[in-house]
Structure 1
Amino acid sequence: MKAKLAWMLTPLLALCISFSYAQEKTVSGNVTDQDGLPLPGVAVVVVGTSNGTQTDFDGNYTIAVSTGQVLRFSYIGQKTVDRTVGASSSINVQMEQDAQALEEVVVVGFGEQTKKSLTTSVAKVDAETVKNIVTPTISGALQGAANGLQVNQNSGAPGTAFSVRVRGASSINGSNEPLYVVDGVPILSGSVGANAFGGQDNDVLANLNFNDIESIQVLKDASSAAIYGARGANGVVLITTKRGKAGKVTVEVNSQIGYQKEINRYEVFTAGQYYQFADTAFEDAFGAPGLLSTGGLGASFPNILDQQGFASLDELYASDWGDNYVDAIYRGSPAVVKTMDVTVSGGSEKARFYANFSDFNQEGVIKNQGFDRRSLTFNANFKATDKLDLDAAVTVSQSDNSRINGDNNIYGALTTSVLETPGNTLFNEDGTYNTSPFTFSNPLQNAVVDKSDTRTFRMISNLGLRYKFTPKFNVYSKASLERLDFKELVFTPATSRRGIASGGDSTKEINLINRWNVTTTLNYSDTFGNWDLSGLLGYTFEGTNTDDIVTQTQSIPAGFELPGAGAVPIAATNEIRENKIFSYFGRVGLSYKEKVFLEGTMRADASSVFGAGNAIGYFPAASAAYLMSEEDWFKNNVLTTFKVRASWGKTGNQSGIGNFGSRFLAGVTNYAPRPGTAITQLGAPDLSWETTTQYDLGADITLFNKIDIAYDYYNKETTDVLLSRPLRNSSGFTTVNANVGDISNKGHEISINARIFEGDFSWTSQFQVAYLDNEVTSLQTDAAGEFIPIDQGFANRIAVGQQLGAFFGLEADGLWQEGETIPDALVARGVEAGDVKYVDQDGNGDINANDRVFIGNPLPKWTGNFRNTFRFKGFDLSANFQFEEDKDIFNNSMAFGGATGSWSFNKFASQLDYWTPENTDTDIPRPRFGGVQSYNNQDSSRLIEDASYVRLKEIVLGYTFSPELLGNGMSLRVYVGGDNLVTWTDYSGLDPEVNTFGNTNASRGTDFFTQGLNRTYKFGVNFKF
C-alpha cells in the first residue's frame, strides 16, 4: 500500500522544493508525555534547517542528522525540548506540559490575547468544524458558527451573496454587514453588479478560498470593535490565514465532490385545473360556464375544448396537456459541485512558506446556472535578523458566474415557469423556441438564452515588517493593495419574448476598484511585580478608488452579444469616485495577578466623506473583567472557572450616502435645448457620522472542567442614522442627506460547550442561542412634530416603535361566509361570501389604506444552533442543527400565484382548495375576476407566514486512517455527508431562509419567487504527506 501511495503522489512531489544536507547518521527514538504515554505528531526538526519529521502513532521517529546538530521537539501544549546529537543513534524524549501554551489564544484587533484575559465579547470560530460545508464563500461557512452572528443564504442560486448581521441591524441607508479583516488588513466585502436581471447580488467574498483560513474571530461588542472606529459599528470578522511551519515540506490535498438537488420545487395547476379555475371566475362575473375554455370571451381567445378534442368541460378539467414549465427549467440530473485544493508548505526557522491552489466548480440546479472559481495564494515569513521579521502574502483569484433571469423580476425564469398559462409547448415543431402564446416569456428560453454572465478578478497583496527594539517593545508596519475587477454582461436576444420589441438588448457593466492601506503600530508589554501592562499606538491611512462604466444598446444583430454591436444606444455612463480615511488609535491593557483585567481603547477617524466641521469622529471604549476563580477562597471542583465582564464603547458608520453625501454636486444637463450645468444634490455641511454606543455585561463559567458557558447581555443604540430627508417641491429637490434616525438593538446570548466524554470515545456538544429585540426609536418629523414613516420593498415600513422594516398592511380575518352581514360599502364593491374579510380598523364600514396596521416582523427574535461531534478510534461523526424562531416572511409569490392573483396567471397547486358554498372550511378565497380580485389581493396578513424553522444544516461521517498504517508522516481522512438535509417549517414557499431583496436593510423577509436552497450529498478526501 505504501508503495502504491508513493507512486500515485510522485507528480505532486515534483512541485515541492526540498533541501538536502549531508547525512552522516540516522537517529531514532521515542517521544512521550509527562505521564509516559506516547505522543504522536510531535514535530522533530534539525535546528537551522528544513530537515524534519513527525512522530508516528506510537511516538516513534527516525531522522537523518549529523553529529553536533540540534534536534528540536515541539508539540502544542508541551514545552519545546532541544537535544544535541552525540555519538548515540537513539534519543528518547519525555515532554512536559506547558501551562502557558495551553491557554487558548484569541486574535483581537491589531493583536492577540489569551482567552483568559479577554474583557470583551469575542466569538471564535473553529475552522475545522466548518471546513467541509459546500459553499464558495466565507460568509456561508460562518452560518451557525458563532453566537450572535445571523447568517442567511438569500437564494439557492450559485455565487449569490449571503446576509451577515452581528447583533441586529443598526443602519437604514448604510451597510449592516460586518467589517472583514484578513491578516490585519480590511478587505472589500458586500456586493457589486448592475443586477439588470433583478434578483440577488454577486458576492465578492466568494472569490476567497475558505480552505486558506486558519481561524476566525468575531468581535461583537463595541469595546472590541472600537479599535476599528468608523468601520466597526456592525461588528468585525477577523480572519487569520494559514502559514507555513518549520520542518519538512508537506503537501496537502483536499478534494470534494457533491451532488445538489433543490429541496423544494413549485407545484402548479395542470392545464385542465387552470381552465376550471378561470372558468369559475368568469362564470361568477358573467353568469355563463366555460367561457375561457370554449372561446366565449371573444375572438382573441381560442376554443380550447375543440382545439384539444375533449368531449366535455369535465373531461377538459380532468386532463393535462402541453409542457411542464417548472420541470423544464430544472436540470434533469443532480447538479455537480467539485472542489480541488492543493497546499504545499514548509521551511526552516529562518524562512517559511505556504502555497495553495484551489479550483471550485458549482453547477446550478436550474439550467444555465453555474459558478467557477480558481484561486492561488502564496505567503512567506522571513526572520531576517534576531530583531527583524518580514512577512508577505498575495492572493489572486478569478470567478465566473452564469446567472439566470432571477427573482424580484416578473420576467424571472422561476417566476414565469409558475405564472405562464399552461397547456403550451416550449418548442415549435422546427425545434425553435415557442414565444407567441406566452404573456411574459418562454420560461425555458428565458433561462437558457437570456443571460447574465459575470467575471470577477481579485488580487489582495500585503507586505509586513516587524522590528523588535527590545523583547518588550516592537514596531509593526504593513502595506496592502487590493484590486477588484468586476465585469457583467446582460444580454437578451431579439428572438427572446422580452427582446422582440427592442430587437435585442445588451448591457455591460465594469466596476474597477483599487484600495490601498498602510498601518503601523507600536507595541509594548511588560510585567511589574503582580501587574502586567500592554499597550499599542498606531495609525492607518486608507484610500479607495472606484471606476464604474455602464454601456447599453439595443437592436443587436444575430450572432452578437456585446453592446458595441447595437444600432440604438440607450445608455453610456462613467462614474469615478474616491474616498480616503486617516486614523489614529491606541489601546492600553492592565492586569493584576492575572485575575483582574482592565482595557481602554481610543480611535480618531478623519474621513473625506463629511464636511470639514464633522470630518473627524472619536470612538472610545473601555472594558473590565474579574476572574474570580483565581481567588484562593473561591477555588473548587464545581465552578472551575468563573469570570465576569463589562464593556462600553462607541463605533461609527459613514456608509450609505456615497463619497460626496455632504457636498453640493453639479452635473451636465440640457434645457430648451442648450447644454449646461445644474445643481444635482443639495449640500449638507452639518452631516456627521452614524454613532453606535453599546454596553455589554457577560460571564464565562466552566463547570467540572468540562462544561463551558458564556453569557452576554448587550444594549446597542445607534443615533444620528443617515437618511435622505424629504423636501418640499418648492425647493427644486426631493431629498437631502441628514442625520435623522435612531435604532435600538438589545439582546441576550448563551453559549454552552460540553466535553461529555473524553478518551477513545469522545463526545463534544455545543448549544448556542441568541435573543434579539430590534426597534426604530426615532425618525424624521413633519411640521407637526409627527414621525414620518418610510415605506420599503413590497410591504415593509420603517416606523418608530417597530422593528426595522416591519410588515405593514391590512389585517385579514378569514373569509366572509354566507349569512354574515357584509357592510354596504363592500357590497357596492362586489364583495360576497368567499371573499377576504379585512378588519375595519377605523370602523367606517369600508376598507382602505387607513385600515393598514403592522402585521409581522422579518427579523427573527431567536437564532441558534446545536452541534454534536462523536469520535471513536479513527471514526468521527458530526451533526449541526440551525434554527430561527419568531420571524415572519411576506410571501409575495402567493400574491401572484395564489387564488387572488390575476386570472391569466397559473396558480400553485395548493390553491385548488378554494372556497365554494360546499367548501367553506378553507382560507383560500373563491375565484374572482375584475375589481373584487384586486380587493382580495391587497397586501395583508394573508400573505404573512411564519418563517420559523429548524434545519439539519450538516452531517458528516469520516474516518482517519492510522498514521502507523500509512507511515512516513502521511495522514489520510475520507468522509461522506450532507448539507441542508431536513428542514422543519410551516412556511409554504420554497424556503424560509431566502430574501428577494438580498442584503438590503429595511426590505427583508420578502419572497417573490426566490430560488430555494439546495440539498447536498458529498464525499471528500483529505490527504497529507
Structure 2
Amino acid sequence: MAAPADATVTGRVVDEKGEGLPGVNVVIKGGSAGTQTDMEGKFTLSVPENSTLVFSFVGYSSQEVVVGTQTTLNVALAPDAKALSEVVVVGYGTQRRQDLTGAVARVDGAEIVNQPVQTPTQALQGKVAGVQIISDGTPNSQPKVRIRGTGTLLGGAEPLYVVDGVQTTDIRNLSNADIASIDVLKDASAAAIYGVRGANGVIIVTTKKGALGKPVLNYSGTVGFKQAANLVEMADAGQYTSYIKDISPNSVLPASTTSTDFYDAILKRGTFQNHNLAVSGATDNVRYYFSGNLLQDDGTVIENKFQRLTVRSNTSFSLSDKVTISSQASFSHAETRDVNIGTAYNNAYRAAPIVPAKQNGLYGNTSALGNVGNPVLDIEKNDNKSLENRLQGNIGIDIRPVDGLTLRSAINVDLNSDNRRVYDYQYFDDANTFLTVGGSQRRLFSTLGVTQVNGNRYLWENTATYQRTYNEKHNLTLLAGTVVEEGLRNQFSGSRNNVPANPDLWYLNTGDPTTAVNDAGAAKDRRLSLLGRVNYAYNNRYLLTTNLRYDGTSKFNRDERFGFFPSLGVGWVVSEENFLKDNSKLSFLKLRASYGQLGNDQIPPDSYILTTDANIPYVFGGQPGGPPPLPTQGSAITQIKDRNVRWETTTEYDAAIEFGFLDNRLTGEVTYYDKTTTDALIPVNIPAIFGDPENQYITNAADITNRGVEAALNWRQNIGGGDWSYNLGANVTFNKNRIANLNGGQALFGGYNGVTKSDNGVAAGSFFLLKSIGVYQSADEIAASPKSDFNPQVGDLKYEDTDGDGRITLLDRRFYGSYQPPVYYGINGGLNFRNVDFSFVFSGNLNNDVYNAKKQARTNVLNNVEASFANDRFRAGNPSNTTPSSLKEGMPNSTYFLESGSYLRLTNVVLGYTLPATILERARLTSVRVFAAAQNVFTVTNYTGFTPELAGGPLDSGIELNTYPTSRTVTMGLNITFK
C-alpha cells in the first residue's frame, strides 16, 4: 500500500499584537524538516499526514499544533518573560537577537514618536552605545552621525540609511510616527552585507505595516514652541563705551540713549507642530498602512520657517501561497524660508549696542560704526526660499517556489528636486547718520539667484534566501544576490541684477541680461555588487555568520574598479549549555567575535578622470618687428589627478559579551572594537609650480584607527502587582582616534583660520595652536620675554616659546586636543504607574575640546565683546593675567580660545497619561493618551559659547563661528486610536 503523500501547509505566525513575527522556527515534531517564517510571519511547509508542528521563537513560549487535515494554520505566540524577545533587521533579512554575531542595536519606534524633533536621527541621541549624534537648531538640518568614531577624512563619514530597503544618505523626509523600529549595524561584520555603502555603519529604518484585524485609525500630534536654549550675554552700551574708550581713545562714539541686545532683535519664540494621521489593517491576503504627516518648525530666528508634508503608503498583496507583491512609497514636499545665519549671527555678536536695531522703520547704521552690518537688515532684506520634493520607495515581488526558498526582486528609487530662489533687496542711503535705511551697509542693486538641483538614484536588487531547520537543531539560512545601482545629479544655477522688488516678478528674465551669470553641472555614478551570506546556528548555542561582498564602482579606473570585502562572525550562547541552562540567576550569556572589511568610494565621480579646458588662447608665429600674431583657440589639460585612486578599506575586529540576569530584568553588553581604515581618500596639496587651478588632488594617502570599548546596561522591573514598573539604562563609549601614514607627513589643515591640523599620531581635526600662558603686565616683561612676531603690547596675550629658539612664531604651535570625544554616553529611564508614564534621556561628552572662533574673529577695533570679557579684561585697576585688555584683528590661533567641550544634557523628557479603558469603551475608542514633552531641557557645561555641540566635517568639527543656537522645544501631545 502506498504511503500517504505529504500535504502542503501554509500559515502565518503573529505576536500578541497581531503583527507578523519573522524568523519563527517551524519544525515537524520528531522529524528533521522545518522552515522559518518570512518578513510578514508567513510560512509554507510540506508535512506528513497527522503531523505536529512546533513553533518556537526567542522571547515567546513555544507552541505545538496538530496539523491533522488542515492546510492553513494561523498561530499566535505568547511572550515569554524569561527570554530575550527581540528580532532585529540585519539587511536583506532578520535575525533573532540571540543569533547575532555582529554589533547591532535597536531603538523601538515608540521611543521616537514622542520626541519633538524633526528627524528620527535626532531621536537616537543618547540611546545607542557607539553612536554619536551632533545636531543644531537649524530647521531642516541633517544631524551629523559618527558610528564608532571618524573613519575617514574625505570619503564620506556619514552612515548609510536603509528605509524599507531603499538605500539613502538622508532621512529628513521621514515622519517619526511612521517608524516601527531603527536598527543600527555598528561593526564591519554586521554592515558587510551592504559593502561599499556601509563603511561608516548602517542605520536601518523599518516603517509600520498593517496588522491582522479590523482597520485601525490613529491620530498623533504635538503642538508647542521653540526658543534658543542658551545665549551669550554681550556687553551693554555702558560696558561697550567704557571698553572702546580704554582701547581706542581717539574713536568718536555717538551719544546714545539705547542699549541694544542684537540677539534679542533677531531671535524669536517659534512655533513647532507635528500632526500624523494613519489608517492600517490586514486580511489574509492584503496588508496596508497609509499615513499623512504635517510638520511645521518656525525655528528661533526671525523670518525662519520650515514646513513639510509627507504621505506614505505601505502595502503587500498575497497573490497565492507562493507569490507576494509588496510596495513602500513616501512623498514629501518641503518649503523652507532660510536665513543667512552666518552673516546675521556674526553681526549680532559684533554690532555696537549703542546703535538701535530698528526704529521708526529705519535700521540702525551699525556698519558706519562697527564695520559690520545690521543683523536685522541682513535677514529682512534677504528672501531665501526653497521648495523640495522627494519620492522614495520600492516595489518588490517574493516568490516561494519550494519550501524554505524565497526569491525576491525589488526596484528601489530615491528621486528628489530642490528649487531655491534667493532675492537680495536693493537698499542704500547716503546720509551718514547712525539711524538710516542702511548707512554704509548698502546694496546698490538687487540680485536674484536661482538654483535647481535634481537627483535620482535607482537600485535593482535580486536575492535568493534559503531557510531550513534540520533535526530540530541545525538552523541554516543562505543568501545570495546582486545589486545594480545608478545615481545622477544635475544642477543649474543663474543670477541677474536689477530684478524688480515685486515677488511676482522674481524671474531671471526680468533682470538685466548684461549681468547674467550661469552655471551648470552633473555627476553620475554606477555600482555593481554581488553578495552572499551564510547564517548557521546549532542547537541555539553555536553561531556562525559569514558575509561576502564583491563591489564594483565607476569612481575608479578599470584596474581598480572592483573590490572583495568579506566578514566572519562567531558566537557561543553559553547559557544554553547544560551546565548553565537551569541557573536561577543567569538568564542569558553569549560570547561573540567578528572580523570584517568594507570599502568606501565616497568621492566625486570624476576624481580620476582628466578633462580638458577649452577656448584657451595660444599665440604662434610672428616676426621680429612685425605685427603681433592673432591668438588661436585651443584646449589643454590643466588638472593633476591620481589616475590610480582606489578603494578606501575599513577593517574591523569586534569582541563582546552579552548577558541577562534575574529573568532578564538586568541585561547588558560590553564590546571591544578595533577599526582601521587603510588607503584613506584625502586631498593632497599640489605645489604651485604645476599651475593646477584646484591646488589639490584626491589620492589614497592615510590610515585612520578607532579603538574603543562600548558598554550598555539596562534594568527593567514590575513591582506592586503590576501597577508599578520602571526601567533604567546607561551606555558609554570610550574611543581613541588616531591618524597614521599620512601622505608622507604632509598634514591637512582645516577650520577657521586653519585652526585644525590632521597629522600622524593625533586625532582627525586636532587643534594646532600657540600656548597662551598669560597676559603681559608691563613693558619690562615684554622686553624680558622672547621676541615675538606678533608685536605684543602691555595687556596682550603672552605665548610660550615651545621650540626654545628664543622667538615666538607660528613654529611654536602644538597640538592641544580635538573635538572628537574620548568618552560619550547616554542615560535613560522610565517610570509607569497604572495609566501614568514618565521617561527621560540624558546625553553628553567627556574630555573633548571646542574652539571659540567667534571670539577670535574680529573685523575691527569697534566690534562689541562679551559682557564677561568687558568685566574681566586687563585694565587699570584690574591687572588680569588671564584675560587680555582687548581682542584684536588677526590674533593667532591659541589655547586662549580653546575650551572644554564636555557637557551633560537632559535631551528629552516625557510625561503621559492614558485614559482608562472604562472611559474609552463609552466613547468607542481603543486608546487615548495625552502627554507633554520637552527637548534639550538644560545643559550642564563649562563652555562659555552658545553650545558645545558643534557639527562639522572630519577636519573642522568643534569650531563655533556661525552656529545656529541649540533650541529648547516644549510641546503638548495627543494620541488617539480608533478600531
**Aligned residue among 387, 391, 401 for 1:459:** 391
Once the two structures are TM-superposed, the CA of residue 585 in structure 1 deviates from its matched residue by 0.4
Once the two structures are TM-superposed, the CA of residue 826 in structure 1 deviates from its matched residue by 4.1
Query: CA distance change for structure 1 residues 663 and 755 in 2, over 3 Å: closer, same or farther?
Result: same
Over residues 221-274 of structure 1, what are the superposed CA-to-partner deviations in whole Å (9 max), with x where a residue is unaligned?
A: 001111111111100001111011121111000010111111122322222322
Question: Quick check: 1:43–1:247 contact (8 Å CA) kept in 2?
Answer: no
2:767 maps to 807
Once the two structures are TM-superposed, the CA of residue 664 in structure 1 deviates from its matched residue by 1.3
Question: Quick check: 2:701–2:742 contact (8 Å CA) kept in 1?
Answer: yes
Question: Quick check: 2:166–2:392 contact (8 Å CA) kept in 1?
Answer: no
Over residues 506-545 of structure 1, what are the superposed CA-to-partner deviations in whole Å (9 max), with x where a residue is unaligned?
A: 2221110011111011101222333222111000101001
**Aligned residue among 163, 166, 172 for 1:185:** 166
2:38 maps to none
The one-letter amino acid of 2:469's match is: T
Which moves more between the two structures, 438-447 or 456-465? 438-447
Which moves more between the two structures, 344-353 or 100-109? 100-109
Q: Is 2:599 aligned against 1:652?
A: yes
Once the two structures are TM-superposed, the CA of residue 43 in structure 1 deviates from its matched residue by 9.2
1:612 maps to 558
Q: Give me the whole-angstrom Cα distance separating, in 1, the residues matched to 2:214 and 2:499.
A: 59
Q: Give me the whole-angstrom Cα distance separating, in 1, the residues matched to 2:322 and 2:420.
A: 48
**Aligned residue among 472, 480, 484 for 1:537:** 480
Q: Is 2:401 aligned against 1:419?
A: no
Question: Quick check: 1:712–1:748 contact (8 Å CA) kept in 2?
Answer: yes
Q: Give me the whole-angstrom Cα distance separating, in 1, the residues matched to 2:466 and 2:447.
A: 61
Q: Give me the whole-angstrom Cα distance separating, in 2, the residues matched to 1:95 and 1:466.
A: 25
Question: Quick check: 2:596–2:653 contact (8 Å CA) kept in 1?
Answer: yes
Once the two structures are TM-superposed, the CA of residue 488 in structure 1 deviates from its matched residue by 1.7
Q: Give me the whole-angstrom Cα distance separating, in 2, the residues matched to 1:648 and 1:882.
A: 30
Once the two structures are TM-superposed, the CA of residue 569 in structure 1 deviates from its matched residue by 2.9
Q: Is 2:860 aligned against 1:902?
A: yes
Question: Quick check: 2:769–2:894 contact (8 Å CA) kept in 1?
Answer: yes
The one-letter amino acid of 1:761's match is: W
Q: Is 2:221 aligned against 1:255?
A: yes
**Aligned residue among 670, 675, 683 for 1:711:** 670
Unpaired stretches in structure 2, ≥5 consecutive residues: 1-14, 21-55, 68-74, 429-437, 619-630
Q: Is 2:949 aligned against 1:993?
A: yes
Question: Quick check: 2:19–2:211 contact (8 Å CA) kept in 1?
Answer: no
Once the two structures are TM-superposed, the CA of residue 500 in structure 1 deviates from its matched residue by 3.7
**Aligned residue among 397, 406, 412 for 2:332:** 397
Question: Quick check: 2:684–2:698 contact (8 Å CA) kept in 1?
Answer: yes
1:511 maps to 453
The one-letter amino acid of 2:488's match is: N
2:623 maps to none
The one-letter amino acid of 2:738's match is: E
Q: Give me the whole-angstrom Cα distance separating, in 1, the residues matched to 2:969 and 2:635.
A: 56
What SS does structure 2 have at the residue aligned with 1:470?
coil
2:235 maps to 269
**Aligned residue among 559, 563, 566 for 2:511:** 566
Once the two structures are TM-superposed, the CA of residue 145 in structure 1 deviates from its matched residue by 2.2
Q: Give me the whole-angstrom Cα distance separating, in 1, the residues matched to 2:267 and 2:686.
A: 48
Q: Percent identity?
A: 28
Q: Is 2:432 aligned against 1:471?
A: no
**Aligned residue among 953, 958, 962 for 2:916:** 962
1:53 maps to none
| Mapping for residues 543-622 of structure 1, pairs under 5 Å | 543-559=486-502, 560-567=505-512, 568-569=514-515, 571-622=517-568
Q: Give me the whole-angstrom Cα distance separating, in 1, the residues matched to 2:412 and 2:889.
A: 57
Question: Quick check: 1:77–1:101 contact (8 Å CA) kept in 2?
Answer: yes
Query: CA distance change for structure 1 residues 666 and 792 in 2, over 3 Å: closer, same or farther?
Result: farther
TM-score, normalised by the number of residues in structure 2: 0.86
Q: Give me the whole-angstrom Cα distance separating, in 1, the residues matched to 2:92 and 2:788.
A: 69
Q: Is 2:752 aligned against 1:752?
A: no
**Aligned residue among 885, 902, 916 for 1:948:** 902
Q: Give me the whole-angstrom Cα distance separating, in 2, the residues matched to 1:859 and 1:43.
A: 42
Once the two structures are TM-superposed, the CA of residue 833 in structure 1 deviates from its matched residue by 4.0
Q: Is 2:352 aligned against 1:352?
A: no
Question: Quick check: 2:234–2:261 contact (8 Å CA) kept in 1?
Answer: no
Once the two structures are TM-superposed, the CA of residue 934 in structure 1 deviates from its matched residue by 4.7
**Aligned residue among 729, 742, 762 for 2:725:** 762
1:137 maps to 119
**Aligned residue among 809, 819, 831 for 1:848:** 809
Query: CA distance change for structure 1 residues 268 and 880 in 2, over 3 Å: closer, same or farther?
Result: same
What SS does structure 2 have at the residue aligned with 1:414?
helix
The CA RMSD over aligned residues, in Å, is 2.8
Over residues 420-440 of structure 1, what are the superposed CA-to-partner deviations in whole Å (9 max), with x where a residue is unaligned?
A: 223223346565775763633
Q: Is 2:467 aligned against 1:525?
A: yes
Query: CA distance change for structure 1 residues 132 and 674 in 2, over 3 Å: closer, same or farther?
Result: farther
The one-letter amino acid of 1:717's match is: T
Q: Give me the whole-angstrom Cα distance separating, in 1, the residues matched to 2:635 and 2:941.
A: 56
Question: Quick check: 1:221–1:235 contact (8 Å CA) kept in 2?
Answer: yes
Unpaired stretches in structure 1, ≥5 consecutive residues: 1-38, 45-73, 85-92, 190-204, 284-290, 296-302, 309-319
Once the two structures are TM-superposed, the CA of residue 888 in structure 1 deviates from its matched residue by 0.6
**Aligned residue among 98, 101, 108 for 1:119:** 101
What SS does structure 2 have at the residue aligned with 1:623?
strand
1:796 maps to 756
Q: Give me the whole-angstrom Cα distance separating, in 1, the residues matched to 2:368 and 2:863.
A: 13
Q: Give me the whole-angstrom Cα distance separating, in 2, the residues matched to 1:83 and 1:122.
A: 36
What SS does structure 2 have at the residue aligned with 1:548?
strand
Query: CA distance change for structure 1 residues 94 and 163 in 2, over 3 Å: closer, same or farther?
Result: closer
What SS does structure 2 have at the residue aligned with 1:681?
coil
Once the two structures are TM-superposed, the CA of residue 726 in structure 1 deviates from its matched residue by 2.7
The one-letter amino acid of 2:915's match is: F
2:7 maps to none
TM-score, normalised by the number of residues in structure 1: 0.82
Q: Is 2:617 aligned against 1:671?
A: yes
Query: CA distance change for structure 1 residues 491 and 675 in 2, over 3 Å: closer, same or farther?
Result: farther
Once the two structures are TM-superposed, the CA of residue 1016 in structure 1 deviates from its matched residue by 1.6
Which moves more between the two structures, 460-469 or 909-918? 909-918
Question: Quick check: 2:314–2:327 contact (8 Å CA) kept in 1?
Answer: yes
Q: Give me the whole-angstrom Cα distance separating, in 2, the residues matched to 1:81 and 1:351.
A: 27
Q: Is 2:655 aligned against 1:720?
A: no
The one-letter amino acid of 1:416's match is: N
Question: Quick check: 1:502–1:555 contact (8 Å CA) kept in 2?
Answer: no
Once the two structures are TM-superposed, the CA of residue 737 in structure 1 deviates from its matched residue by 2.5
Query: CA distance change for structure 1 residues 40 and 465 in 2, over 3 Å: closer, same or farther?
Result: closer
Once the two structures are TM-superposed, the CA of residue 982 in structure 1 deviates from its matched residue by 1.3
1:278 maps to 244
What SS does structure 1 have at the residue aligned with 2:937?
strand
| Mapping for residues 860-1009 of structure 1, pairs under 5 Å | 860-896=821-857, 902-912=860-870, 913-921=872-880, 923-927=882-886, 933-934=888-889, 937-967=891-921, 968=924, 970-995=926-951, 998=952, 1000-1009=953-962
Query: CA distance change for structure 1 residues 444 and 767 in 2, over 3 Å: closer, same or farther?
Result: same
1:491 maps to 423
Once the two structures are TM-superposed, the CA of residue 489 in structure 1 deviates from its matched residue by 1.9
What SS does structure 1 have at the residue aligned with 2:94?
strand
Q: Give me the whole-angstrom Cα distance separating, in 1, the residues matched to 2:122 and 2:142.
A: 9
Once the two structures are TM-superposed, the CA of residue 118 in structure 1 deviates from its matched residue by 0.5
What SS does structure 1 have at the residue aligned with 2:111?
helix
1:211 maps to 177
Query: CA distance change for structure 1 residues 710 and 40 in 2, over 3 Å: closer, same or farther?
Result: closer
What SS does structure 1 have at the residue aligned with 2:909?
strand
Once the two structures are TM-superposed, the CA of residue 325 in structure 1 deviates from its matched residue by 2.2
The one-letter amino acid of 2:447's match is: D
Over residues 739-768 of structure 1, what are the superposed CA-to-partner deviations in whole Å (9 max), with x where a residue is unaligned?
A: 111111111000101114442200111101
Q: Is 2:263 aligned against 1:326?
A: yes
**Aligned residue among 630, 647, 651 for 1:693:** 651
Q: Give me the whole-angstrom Cα distance separating, in 2, the residues matched to 1:867 and 1:780.
A: 43
Once the two structures are TM-superposed, the CA of residue 370 in structure 1 deviates from its matched residue by 1.0
Q: Is 2:741 aligned against 1:778?
A: yes
1:59 maps to none
2:433 maps to none
The one-letter amino acid of 2:964's match is: Q
Over residues 789-820 of structure 1, what are the superposed CA-to-partner deviations in whole Å (9 max), with x where a residue is unaligned?
A: 44444311111111001001101112223474
